[in-house]
Amino acid sequence: MKIIYFLLLAGIFLIACNEDNSSVGVYDVNTQFKLYDSNGVEKTTFKSGDDFEMRFSLVNLSGRDLSYHYTGIPVFFEIHQNDSIIATSVDGLSFAQVVLGGEVKNGAIFKDNWIAPNSLARDPKLISSAGNYKAFVKHYGFFDRVKLKDSKSVEFVITN
């Protein structure tokens, strides 16, 4: 019986010593996803054959430094038309399946971008035809203690 009380007391002690991270939530991290033309002007209409930039940024306002871990890349971008994926920032690329990590200090900004619609490995290059599209940013397995909400897609148009 003494062993049970000892284990119970030891368990309570260990739980009490753990740092409480439950207060860090999605509202303490601001994310932004936008599209820009080659001159850095925010737009949602582009000409066929023109490159454009997808930018994702994240600002840590949690009051704590936030560590993250990922395999491959922490953020990637997709272009959809109707229900099909037309292009991604990782088309034709491969990544070592190594767990990497980093940290976003309190008040710091994490940024990533893609010059769309072609990845470095895409050959032949994609020329987007005129039509309506949606841009997505994906951030899988990001922070250790914060679950990010999915970023909203951005609707855009390609014209002739």
In a domain, 8, yes or no: no
Give the total number of structural domains in the chain.
Answer: 1
Q: What is the pLDDT of residues 113-153, one digit of tens each?
A: 999 998 888 888 888 899 999 999 998 767 777 778 888 99
Domain assignment present for 21:
no
Q: List the end-to-end C-alpha distance of the chain, in Å, as a whole number.
A: 81
- CA-to-CA distance for 135 and 56, rounded, in angstroms? 11
Q: What is the pTM of this model?
A: 0.76
Residue 4 lies in a domain: no
Asked whether residue 85 is assigned to any structural domain, the reply reads yes
pLDDT (0 to 100) of residue 1: 61
Task: Tell me whether residue 19 is in a domain.
Answer: no
φ, ψ of residue 92 in degrees (nearest 5): 75, 0
Is residue 76 a contact partner of residue 135, using CB atoms and an 8 Å limit? Answer: no
The answer to whether residue 18 is domain-embedded is: no
d(CA 101, CA 142): 9
Sign for the CA dihedral angle at 135, 62, 144, 94 comes to: positive
Whether 126 is covered by a domain: the verdict is yes
Q: Decide if 15 is inside a domain.
A: no
pLDDT in tens, 40-99: 999 999 999 999 999 999 999 988 898 888 888 889 999 999 999 999 999 888 877 888
Find the domain containing 155 and state its range: 28-159
Over range 28-34, report the average pLDDT.
90
**Which CATH number fits the domain that encloses residue 104?**
2.60.40.2360
